[in-house]
Structure 1
Amino acid sequence: MKLGLIASSVAAMCVSLHAIAAPIKIVAAENFYGDVARQIGGSRVQVTSILSNPDQDPHLFEASPSVGKALANAKIVVYNGADYDPWMVKLLSASSGTSRQTIVVGELLQKKAGDNPHLWYEPDAMPAYARELASSLQSDDPSHAADYAKNLQTFLNALKPINDRIAAIKAKYAGTPVTATEPVFGYMAQALGLAMRNEKFQLAVMNDTEPSASDVAAFEGDLKSHHVHLLFYNSQASGGAAQRMRDLALKVGVPVVGVTETAPAGKAFQAWVLDELNAVEKALAKGSR
């Protein structure tokens, strides 16, 4: 009888230990990928997001020793790719973690260096990433595969309001000429059917070079003549020529919508994108009067 009780106690302890197993450690280069990881993994994951400050210029980021430590202990690592966060490649090559899985969103979308790297504004990006992450979690933790599948479906369902808003804006404003200081919102602008102008200027700013005099003149002409109905401005990492265009837009009355490369603190990916789409819709209504 005592042996039976002991065996039952040991079994109960094993079940208890299994229930409190250490969470799967995920490191995301950007906080919006980290947010989606929390939504898919729930309480079974521990997520560290490296770029998480919306007031920080991501192009000036320098990794601290704590980032290397987090990567060494991670089971799953996520980063953007397409040469947006090349520091991650360097950190991973120097890290000792060998059993981890790596998800590169750019590779999922078949994007490469030279393509617009702001992939999170591509409507197909997050569903592709979420599915890949759910698959990785199921591989690492098959006993909870059903939970990850359920969380994935919940996340995909939560994207419907975004897709509905995109469709509504496109139906009303497709073909509207707009401009931007950088191609941050480029994929989303394309999904909305907007006619983007001054792309050479945008690429110069993104690549930290000075736009040509002719590109500056063309941009200024679009604003002064109100040929464009909206200016997208990178409110997180802009200066110089981009700042001058923003100031000119405000002076001549062209609506300006600030977009960022990092999600606001504490805001889910879906809420962040919906807020920006709401701002775009409001600005287009004003600029098209």
Structure 2
Amino acid sequence: MNSIARIRRIGRNSRTVAIAKAVAAGFAALSMSAAAFAAGDVKVNIVAAENFYGDIARQIGGEHVDVTSILSNPDQDPHLFEASPKTARALQHAAIVVYNGAAYDPWMEKLLAASKGGQRTTIVAAELVGKKSGDNPHLWYAPQTMPAVARKIEAALVTADPTHKADYDRHLSAVIDALKPIDQKVAQLRERYRGTPVTATEPVFGYLSDAIGLDMRNMRFQLAAMNDTEPSASDIATFERDLRERKVRVLIYNSQATEALTKRMLQLAKHSGVPTVSVTETQPAGKTFQQWMLAQLGALEAALDAKQP
């Protein structure tokens, strides 16, 4: 289950603190000179906490970068992740670090805070779009996030490796162009389905739902799930009634966190003939970020188009 509260508990994990101390020593040895980049002997090392940020970094950096994405398993609940020595080693030689922020990945904050030195640029998506702890942390679903992150990554690469600026500029332009179909699909869905009532087990898809203009119901239930608290009996009853009476056109759920209550709602939706749409918090293997987002928007469109029983 998505849980800011659980994330905070993980962030306080004693193993993370111990690993952070080890990282401090590793960063002291970091030295990535412009001369080495110019000679083509060294690639820019980038570490992304989440693989969708890593994918954007790879698209921009191309052959000039080595990218390590820490969270990359779409079958695992990312909120249950705990930092390990492998995580620490990946960070030791990072020239650029990208992570989500907004209390989504505080283990990264702790690891980086353990090192006061090291020539690295840290990019925090939440800071770029004005979000903080307590806000919906699923920022990569907000249309404005990835263009902002992409531009920041490109600027960091140009600073670290100015010799290949022309390549980074060209790749950034291609990334921004490849993001435009997402905005176009959102606009199309907004024109057709603005105000359509839908529901979700968690607010993973919330920012795209808002951009489309869907009437998202059962927010108290979703926030309870996100904050690792039990929804009230009345909130559960309202959710079930929406499904049973088909007051919503679609049920959106996080397939990486299907606990008992989520399964209960999925079964009720199936029984009631309400289409369901799976969304994930981790980019699937074999897809770019742009392909992933478009596939999920396509699944939503198909569900909204489905004839009601």
Look up the match of 2:53: 33
* Paired position in structure 2 for 1:8: none
**What is the aligned length?**
275
1:207 aligned partner: 227
Give the CA deviation at 1:102. 0.2
Aligned to 1:55: 75
CA contact (8 A) 1:72 1:96 kept: no
Contact 2:36 2:42 in 1 (8 A): no
Residue matched to 1:9 = none
CA distance in 2, matches of 1:275, 1:201: 26
Whether the 8 Å CA contact 1:211–1:241 is kept in 2: the answer is: no
Q: TM-score, normalised by structure 2?
A: 0.86
- For residue 22 of structure 1, report the CA deviation from its aligned partner: 0.8
Tell me which of 219, 229, 244 is aligned to 2:249. Answer: 229
Q: Which deviations, in whole Å up to 9, do the C-alpha atoms of 1:63-98 show, x marking residues without a partner?
A: 120110111210000000000111111111234752
Amino acid paired to 2:167: D
Q: Decide whether the 8 Å contact of 1:79 with 1:103 is kept in 2.
A: yes
Structure 1 unaligned runs (5+)? Answer: 1-14
- 2:37 and 2:219 map into 1 onto residues whose CA distance is 56
Q: In the superposition, relative to structure 1, how do residues 122 and 114 fare at CA in structure 2: closer, same or farther (>3 Å)? A: same
Give the match's secondary structure for 1:48. Answer: strand
Query: For residues 87-113 of structure 1, what are the alpha-carbon distances to aligned partners after superposition, in whole Å with 9 as ceiling and x for unaligned?
Result: 111111234752111000000001001
Match of 2:190 in 1: 170
Q: Secondary structure at the match of 1:159?
A: helix
What are the Cα deviations for residues 121-145 of structure 1, in whole angstroms up to 9, with x where unaligned?
0000000000011011111111211
Comparing 23-32 with 139-148, greater Cα deviation is found at 139-148
Q: Which moved more, 1:246-255 or 1:105-114?
A: 246-255
Question: Structure 2 regions of 5+ residues with no counterpart?
Answer: 1-34
Higher gyration radius (CA): 1
Q: What aligned pairs does 1:18-29 form with structure 2 within 5 A after superposition?
A: 18-29=38-49
1:179 aligns with 2:199: yes
Q: Quick check: 2:198–2:214 contact (8 Å CA) kept in 1?
A: yes
**Corresponding letter in the other structure for 1:197:** R
CA distance in 2, matches of 1:135, 1:112: 23
Change (3 A) 1:42 1:275: same
Determine the structure 1 residue equivalent to 2:167.
147
Residue equivalent to 2:29 = none
Answer whether contact 2:38 2:163 (CA < 8 A) is retained.
no
- The DSSP-based 3-state class of the residue aligned with 1:196 is strand
**1:68 maps to amino acid:** A
State the secondary structure of the residue aligned to 1:272: helix
- Matched to 1:200, the amino acid is R
Given that 2:37 and 2:163 are in contact with CA atoms closer than 8 Å, whether structure 1 keeps it comes out as no
Question: Do residues 270 (structure 1) and 290 (structure 2) align?
Answer: yes
8 Å CA contact 2:274, 2:308 repeated in 1: no
Contact 1:235 1:260 in 2 (8 A): yes
Q: Measure the CA separation in 2 of the matches of 1:191 and 1:59.
A: 25
**TM-score normalised by L of structure 1:** 0.92
Q: Secondary structure at the match of 1:113?
A: coil
- Residue aligned with 1:103, SS: strand
Task: For 1:77-88, list aligned pairs within 5 A.
Answer: 77-88=97-108
Q: Percent identity?
A: 60
Structure-1 separation of matches of 2:43 and 2:187: 38
Letter matched to residue 145 of structure 2: A
Query: Does structure 2 retain, via aligned residues, the 8 Å contact 1:179–1:196?
Result: yes
- Larger relative contact order (CA 8 Å, sep ≥ 6): 2
1:198 counterpart residue number: 218
Paired with 2:177 and 2:308, the residues of 1 have a C-alpha distance of 32
Give a deviation string over 1:197-229, Cα, whole Å, max 9, x none.
000100111112111001001101111111100
Deviation (angstroms), 1:34: 0.3
Alpha-carbon contact 2:205-2:279 (below 8 Å) kept: yes
CA spacing shift, 1:16–1:145, aligned 2, 3 Å: closer
